[in-house]
Chain A
Amino acid sequence: MSPLAAAGPVIPNYRSASSSCVVHNHLFCTEWIAHNWSPILWPALRQHILLTAVAVALGFLIAAALALLAHRHGWVERPTIVLTTILYTIPSLALFELLVAPVGANVIAAEIALVSYTLLILFRNIVTGLREVPADVREAAEGMGMSRRQVLLRVELPLALPAIVAGLRIATVTIIALATIVYVVCNQGLGVPIHTALGEGPFKTELIAAGGLAILLALVADALLVGAQWLLTPWLRARSA
C-alpha cells in the first residue's frame, strides 16, 4: 500500500458538523477551530514540535561531532561537504518515500530524512564559525598556556556561537517546513490536517488553521533562537551598546 494512501482521513468528515459556516465551507469557522483544537490541531502541533526538536537535536550532535573532527583534521571537511550536499539535493518528498523500503513507513524514516537535511547547514556553519575565529585571538590563548581543549571550549566555541546559532535558526525553520510533509510516511505533524483538508473540498478553515500554525511555529522558533543567542553572547551586546 502506498504511504500516501496510508495517511488516509483520521478526522471525521467535516460535513457532519452542524454549523452552517462549516457546511458552506466559509473561509474561516472559529467554532470548528474551538471544537477541533484538542482532538486535531493541538496533537498535530505537538507532534510537529517533537519531530522538529528531535531532528534538530540529533542533526546538531552529528554535525557538531563531524565539525570538531574537521576542525582538528582538515581533510574531513571536503568529503563531509560533498556527502551532505548530495543528501541536501535529494527532493524531500522523494527522500521520505525512498526511506520507506529500507526502514518502513514510520517515525524513524521521517527522522532520518529530517536529520539528513540539517547536516549540511549545521556542519557548514559550525566549521565556518570555528575557522573564522581571529588567528591572533587563538594565538593569545595558546600563549596564555591554554591546552588545545581549553582553546576550543573557552575561546573558539564562544566566538563561533553567532555562526552556530545562525545555522540552528536556518536548520530549525527548514525542518519545521519539511515536517509538514512527514505525513506521507507516518501520519504525524501539521501535514496531517492539511492533507485531510485538501481531500475534503478542500476544507478552507482547516487549511488556514493548520498552515497558519506551521508558519507561526516557524516564526516563534526563530524568535526563540534569536533570544537564546542574545542571552548567550553578552559580549556582543556590550559592544553594540
Chain B
Amino acid sequence: MNQFVEAFQFIGRNGAIPGDPQLPSLLHLTLETLKVGAIGVAISLAIALPLGIWLGHIHRGSFLAINAGNLGRALPSLAVLAIGDAFLGLGLPVVELALVILAVPPIVTNAYLAIDGVDPELVDAARGMGMSELRILGRVELPLAIPLIFAGVRTASVFVISTTTIAALAGFSGSLGDVIANETSYHFSGVLGAAICVAALALAVDGALALVQRLLTPRGLRLAQSKRGYRLADAARTA
C-alpha cells in the first residue's frame, strides 16, 4: 500500500525525482504520449474509415475487412518496431508506422461491419425515395453505423496509447514509456505512477470519444441501442 502512496506522491510532484533535476515533467510526458498517439490514430482514421465505409457500402471485401482485424493483431508491435528500426532507423515515423498497423485493422473491421450491417430495407427505402448513393451513405448508413464505428475507434485508441509505452523499449524517448522502462532512475513508485497515468490517459481518451459518439449518434438510435452492446470481440466472432 505504501508503494501506492509513493506513486501518487510521484504524480503529485509532477514526476520530479529528488536529486535528479533534468528529468522531464510527468505532465509533459503525458502530453507527448497523447500527441504521439493522436498522430497515429489520425493517420489510421484517414486510411481506415474511408476504406471500411466504402467496402461496407458496396458490401464487398468482407474477407479483407474482417481478416484485416486478425492480421493487425498478429503483428507484435515490438517486432514491427524492431523491423522498422532495421530498415529506417528508429524515430517518430517508425513508431507511428507501428501504431498505424495496430490501429487500422480494428477501425476497418468495425466500420465495414457497421455499414454492412445497416438494415437493407432502410437503404432500399432511401433509394426508392430518390436519394443519391452519397446521400444514402451520409444520411442513412453513417448515422446508423456510428456506435459500431466508434467502438472500433475507441478500441484502436486504447491500443495505441498503451503501445506508445512499448516504443520506449525500442529506444524511442518522449512518452510515459520513458518512465516505465527506466526503473533505475524512477524507482518502483515512479513506474507505478507512470502506469497509473497511462491507464488514466487511456480511460480519459475512451471517455472523450464516448462523449463525441453520444453527440453524433441520432437520438432515436440512442434510445433503441441503450440495451444492446456490440463489441469488437463479437464482431470478430463473425469472421
Contact = CB atoms under 8 A, between A and B. Distances in A.
Contacts of B195: 90-91, 94-95, 97-98
B237 A125 contact: yes
B199 interface: yes
Interface stretch (A32-40, A175-183, A231-239): A175-183
Interface residues of B, number: 47
Interface string B226-239: 00000101101101
Contacts of B184: 2, 4-5
A199 to B, nearest CB: 9
Nearest to B75: A215
A212 B73 contact: no
A89 to B, nearest CB: 5
Interface string B61-79: 0000000001101111111
Contacts of A197: 82
B181 A4 contact: yes
A180 B81 CA distance: 11
- Of all A-B residue pairs in the complex, the 5 with the closest CB atoms, nearest first, are A94-B195, A211-B79, A177-B76, A204-B86, A218-B74
Contact of A181 (B3, B166, B191, B194): B166
Interface string A206-221: 0110111011001100
B95 interface: no
B157 interface: no
Contacts of A163: 237
B169 A211 contact: no
A44 interface: no
B16 interface: no
Contacts of B90: 202
B104 to A, nearest CB: 16
B86 A208 contact: yes
B53 interface: no
Interface of A: 2-5, 27, 89-95, 97-98, 101, 121, 124-125, 128-129, 162-163, 166-167, 169-170, 173-174, 176-178, 180-181, 184, 190-191, 194-195, 197-198, 202, 204-205, 207-208, 210-212, 214-215, 218-219, 222
A8 to B, nearest CB: 13
Interface of B: 3, 70-71, 73-83, 85-87, 90, 158, 162, 165-166, 168-171, 177, 180-184, 188, 191-192, 194-195, 198-199, 202-203, 231, 233-234, 236-237, 239
A169 B79 contact: no
Contacts of B233: 121, 124-125, 128, 166-167, 170
Contacts of B83: 207-208, 211-212
Contact of B177 (A93, A177, A204): A93
B75 A93 contact: no
Nearest to A203: B86
A180 B78 contact: yes
A8 B80 CA distance: 22
A207 B191 CA distance: 27
A128 B188 CA distance: 38
A166 B85 contact: no
A94 B78 contact: no
Given A177-B75, A210-B79, A215-B75, A94 B191 contact: yes
Contacts of A98: 188, 191-192, 195
A191 B234 CA distance: 31
Nearest to B90: A202
A181 B74 contact: no
Given A91-B195, A91-B198, A94-B165, A180 B237 contact: no
Contacts of B70: 169-170, 173, 222
B179 to A, nearest CB: 9
A89 B199 contact: yes
A194 B82 contact: yes
Contacts of B198: 91, 94
